[in-house]
Amino acid sequence: MPNEQNPRLTPLLPSEWDEEILDALGAFPGSLNFVLTQWNARSDDLRGMHTLGLFAHYPELAKAFMTLNRHVATNSTLSARARELLILRISWLKRSEYEFVQHIILGRRAGLSDEEIERLQLGPDVPGWSKEDAELIRVADELHEKAGISELTWDRLSGRYNHRQIMDMIFLIGCYEMLGMAIKSFNIPLEPGVTPLDPATQARMFEL
């Protein structure tokens, strides 16, 4: 079921972030700037604040992770749509409601339809996917289940993607799998004002 426990480590709020923390979180400037802008504007949209607030407890780790996160989330060789498809699928498989909710919004901005976001919950073999989309979802499934890409999937990928793109797929999925583990292990809640998944979608996620 969804995580309704108290945080095991309470995220620090932006008002508590000192220069060392800001420097560390600034390794992913887009993420930091969004949160600070929303916080200063007293916005109801504070997505991502609790994740950064968790990392604020450990600036050295934050800087290392945010450097990787910035690359795989914004600067990689994959299209924004492909990235969001992979992030949403691995978030779903990890039962990470926090990540999934955040990336529904980003997925829509990258061109994913609500129908596709619902369909990806069912996996790569349901009708409606293009061959390219189905293979991307299958990559996330195989890395989640087997920690490796099968020979058949590799052969299909290598005919369409170069080695850097495949590396970006693997490290993107690994990055968000690791982030999901941290969020769930520390019981990090959704930010105030962030809408959780509807009960039916929650039930599907946590019955996997």
Question: What is the tens place of the pLDDT at every residue in 67-118?
Answer: 999 999 999 999 999 999 999 999 999 999 999 999 999 999 999 999 999 9
> Do 99 and 193 share a domain, yes or no?
yes
Whether the pLDDT of residue 134 is over 90: the answer is yes
Domain containing 67: what range? 11-75
List the alpha helices (DSSP H) in 94-130: 97-109, 114-119
CA 3 to the chain's CA centroid = 17
> Do 90 and 66 share a domain, yes or no?
no
> Do 65 and 104 share a domain, yes or no?
no
The span from the CA of 47 to the CA of 193, in Å, is 9
Whether the pLDDT of residue 2 is over 80: the answer is no
Indicate the DSSP class of residue 194.
Answer: P
Contact 191, 47 (CB under 8 A): yes
Give the domain-ending residue among 75, 96, 111. Answer: 75
Indicate the DSSP class of residue 71.
Answer: I
Q: What's the average model confidence in pLDDT over 133-149?
A: 96
* Whole-prediction pTM: 0.94
* Number of domains into which the chain is organized: 2
Q: What's the average model confidence in pLDDT over 11-17?
A: 98
When pLDDT is cut at 50, 70 and 90, the band that residue 208 belongs to is low
Whether the pLDDT of residue 3 is over 70: the answer is no
The span from the CA of 133 to the CA of 82, in Å, is 8
Within 8 A by CB and 6+ apart from 137, the residues are 85, 86, 89, 120, 123, 124, 129
